[in-house]
Structure 1
Amino acid sequence: MQIKSKTLIAGAIFTLIALTTMQGYLIFNTYDLRKNSFAVESRMTIGSIVQNPYVDSISWAYRTEFVDKIPEYRKGQINKEALIQTLKNAANESNKGFLDYFKEGAEHFGLHENVLFKRSASLILFTYENGEKETILAENEDPDLFLLGTDFPVDEGYLINAWNWSFDKGFTNASGNLETVVITYRASLYMKIIDWDSIMLKKLLLLLFVAFLLFVFIITLVSYSIRNLLKIKRISEIKTDFINNITHELKTPLATLSIATKTLTNKYAKDDKTISDEAIATINRQNKRLQNLIDQVVDNSLGYNHINLHLEPVLLSEFIDEVCDDFSLTLPQRIQLLRVIEPSDTPILIDKFFISTAIINVLNNAVKFEGTVLKVELKTIKAYSVITISDNGIGISKKNKKLIFDKFYRLSEKNKHDYKGLGLGLYYCSQIIKAHHGIIDVESKEKQGSTFFLKIPTNHGKENLTG
């Protein structure tokens, strides 16, 4: 059973980890797919905004200003930096109107506000009639030349599209001859998305919430199942232990009855009245012992709802003194019973038989677990009369402390039960106190003794007392 339980728990934990891993993997994949889908949608939306005659006319305008400056550059009237600056200035003037247009388009097509766009030139190459080539803007060497949109580093964005544009420009050179130059121009469109995580979180919020609820549900279900499995395992162990213990308790009187019966049937016993009388007396004693054992199991197994109390007004201080007097008569001389009993002048309603049974059970328990100094105290604390029973015995471990009031539970260490009993005494005590609407509690440390608190409400049944 123990190996099977460990296997089941290990299997449940492994399954939980596997499901959690799968769920995390699926969420990550969903995040990645949504991210790619958002990027594709944003690219298409940008394409819808910028691919139209108005934007083409803007591009044509700043390129025309640049091309018109080529003759001056070729004649040496301006240098390369001034030629490039012409393109920059023309694009900058055009960009003012473009930004307003792009903003309106973004609102119209529902482009997310965190999506930025820019157009830049990455290559400008002149090819002359004699085959000579001159690079004005070198691709992958010079920084891209920003033209339209919102500028940002290229490595932070996504390339939407790129294309080459070639055309001829004829002009009269410094020698008065007609010359033609072929201009190769590469333009690139880039998109940048600011704060990916925030956008995706908003889009996946419902999915993440449902996944979280499912995760909590699975954790709760597995924890509940493991807790129930351990509880069932413990109950099974207690049940097995109880059966073994009660079997052991029954063997002695049954064996004695068997011997006594054989004695009665012996021919010598028939002729000797003394032998037969002793055998009959033994049978009666063992029969009574068996009956008491059965009654103990039946009576002490009652829950507090099934205990019928016969309440009567009792001065608790006098009553506890009487119980201690009777109990002390049964104690060996090596055991001390101390009392610190606060006098009471107001009677409370209790069942004397059951309360005395509870007190004696706790005291017997203290003696059983090696207590040599027992102390009984009575105090009134707020609305409770508190009976405190302490000892200097072996104490109770934290593990056992939570279980000692369970039915059939007996203290054990390393699966060994070194102390006799059916595991009903403290359970019965707790049920008696609960039947009186009271509280039972214990404080204990191993090898330092235990202290039990039996708290009985002073106003329990008070209306019957005063009526």
Structure 2
Amino acid sequence: MQIKSRALITGAIFTLIALTTMQGYLIFNTYDLKKKSFAVESRKKIGGIVKTSYVDSLSWNYRMDFVKKIPDYKSGNITKEELLLTLENAAKARNDQFLEYYKQGAGHFNLNENVLFNKVATTIQLIDKNGNVENLIDESKNEQVFLIGTNFPFYEGLLINNWNWSFNEEFINSNQENDTIIIRYRASLYMKILNWDKIILKQLLLLFFIAFLLLLFLITLTTYSIRNLLKLKRVSEIKTDFINNITHELKTPLATLSIATKTLTNKFAKDNKDIAEDSINTINRQNKRLQNLIDQVVDNSLGYNDIKLNLEEVNLSAFINEVCDDFYLTISNNIQFIRDIDNTEKQILIDKFYFSTAIINILNNAIKFDGTILKVKYTLSENNHIISISDNGIGISKKNKKLIFGKFYRVSEKNIHNYKGLGLGLYYCKQIIKAHYGTIDVESKEKEGTTFYIKVPVNDRKENFISR
């Protein structure tokens, strides 16, 4: 059973981890696909804005302003930097018109406002009639001239596409001869998405929330199932242990009854009154023992609501002293019994039989678990009667502290029970104290001893018990 339980728990945890990993992988893939899809949609929308006759006319105008200045450059009237500045200024003069048009187009195509666009010249070559090439802008050297849109570094954006244009321009060279030059022009279109992750996360927020809820539900379900499995395992072990224990407890009186019965029915015993009388006494004792064992199981299994209290007003100081006096007569001389009981005139409503049973059960427990020094202390606070019972026995581990008040629970080491009992004593104590509207708690350290604390409210009235 233990191996099967471990296998099931390990399997459940492994499955949970596997499902969580798969869910994380699918969410990441969904995020990545959504990101790519958003980029593709943005490219299409930008294409719908810039591939229009209006934008073409703007581009044609600043290119032609640039082309008209090339003869001056070839004639040596302006420098290369001045020529390129002509292109940049011509484009800049028309950029406000473009940005206004782009804003209107973005609204029309429902383009996200965080998507920026720019167009840059990446290659400009001048080729003379002899085939000589002069690079005004060299793409291989990452040289660019910003044209229109929002100016941002190309490496921060995504390339949409490249656009090539070629034009022949005639001019009079320095020799006053007609000449022709070929202009090869290449422009690149980029887009930049601001707060890209934030946009995608916002779009996938509902999906992430549902995924989180499913994961939380899965973890809760797995945890609940494991806890139930461990609880059922524990109940099964307690049940098996109790059956074995009660069977062992019943065997001795039953075996003795069997022998006594055989002796009584023996022909020799019929003629011997002493033997017959001893056999009858043995039968009576064992019968009483069996009855007590059954009563212990029945009575000690009661819940606090099932306990019928016969309430009396008593002085708790005097009452605890009486219980201690009676208990002291039953213990061996090697046990040191210490009392620290405050004298108080305060009265309390208790059932003397049940309350004394709870105290004696705890004291007997201390002796059973190797306690040689017992101390009973009673104090009266403003709100509670406080009884503490301490011993120097084997103590209780942290793991077992939460379990000792459970029904049928017995302290064990490596599944071996070294101490006799049905595991009902402390459970019964707790039910008795709860029936008196009190609480019972424990502090303990292994191999150092244990202290039980019983607290009963000062202001209990008889009508409170009756109305329960």
Match for residue 352 of structure 1?
A: 352
Secondary structure of the 2:139 match is: coil
Q: Greater shift after overlay, 273-282 or 48-57?
A: 48-57
Aligned-residue offset at 1:331: 0.8
* Cross-structure match for 1:95: 95
User: For 1:384 and 1:151, how far apart are their aligned partners in 2?
Assistant: 78
1:168 equivalent in structure 2: 168
Distance in 2 (CA, whole Å) between partners of 1:404 and 1:130 is 103
Instruction: Identify the residue that residue 294 of structure 2 maps to in structure 1.
Output: 294
Q: Which residue of 2 aligns with 1:394?
A: 394
Structure 2: gaps (5+ residues): none
Q: For residue 454 of structure 1, give the secondary structure of its aligned residue in structure 2.
A: strand
Tell me how far 1:419 sits from its aligned partner.
0.5
1:246 matched residue in structure 2: 246
Q: CA shift at 1:172, angstroms?
A: 2.0
CA distance in 2, matches of 1:175, 1:165: 29
Moved more, 406-415 or 118-127: 118-127
Q: How does 1:105-144 map to 2 (within 5 A)?
A: 105-144=105-144
1:381 is matched with which residue? 381
User: In 1, Cα distance between the equivalents of 2:461 and 2:264?
Assistant: 55
Partner of 1:447: 447
**Residues 268-325 of structure 1, C-alpha deviation per residue, up to 9 Å, x if partnerless?**
2122211111111111111111111111011101111111111111111111111111
CA RMSD of aligned residues (A): 1.5
1:406 aligned partner: 406
Residue 255 of structure 2: aligned partner: 255
Normalising by structure 2, what TM-score? 0.96
8 Å Cα contact 1:348-1:462 kept in structure 2: no
Segment drifting more, 321-330 vs 76-85:
76-85
Distance in 1 separating the partners of 2:343 and 2:289 = 39
Q: 1:17 to 1:142 in 2, by over 3 A?
A: closer
Residues 1:203 and 2:203 aligned together: yes
Q: 1:464 to 1:191 in 2, by over 3 A?
A: closer
SS at match of 2:162: strand
- Tell me which amino acid in the other structure corresponds to 2:213: L
CA distance in 1, matches of 2:287, 2:463: 45
Residue 195 of structure 2 is aligned to residue 219 of structure 1? no
Residue 49 of structure 1 corresponds to 49
Number of the residue aligned with 1:457: 457
Mapping 1:176-191, distance limit 5 Å: 176-191=176-191
Deviation of the 1:18 alpha carbon: 1.1
Give runs of aligned pairs for residues 310-389 of structure 1, distance below 5 A.
310-389=310-389
Instruction: Give the SS at the match of 1:180.
Output: strand
* Deviation of the 1:464 alpha carbon: 7.5
- Distance, in Å, in 1 between the alignment partners of 2:230 and 2:400 is 15
Q: TM-score, normalised on structure 1?
A: 0.96
Give the Cα–Cα distance (whole angstroms) in 1 for the partners of residues 348 and 126 of structure 2.
Answer: 112
Shift of 1:176: 2.6
Select between 291-300 and 172-181 the one with higher mean Cα deviation: 172-181
CA distance in 2, matches of 1:241, 1:334: 32
Tell me how far apart the structure 2 counterparts of residues 316 and 142 of structure 1 sit (CA, whole Å). 96
Paired residues of 1:127 and 1:183 also in contact (CA < 8 A): yes
Mapping of residues 24-63 of structure 1, within 5 Å: 24-63=24-63
Indicate the SS of the match to 2:287. helix
Matched residue count: 465
**Structure 1 stretch 419-428 or stretch 100-109: which is displaced more?**
100-109
Matches within 5 A, 1:408-427: 408-427=408-427
Query: Could you tell me how far apart the structure 1 residues matched to 2:375 and 2:26 are?
Result: 64
Matched to 2:225, the amino acid is: S
Which residue of structure 1 lines up, in the alignment, with residue 434 of structure 2?
Answer: 434
Shift of residue 370, structure 1, vs aligned partner: 0.9
Identical counterparts, % of pairs: 67
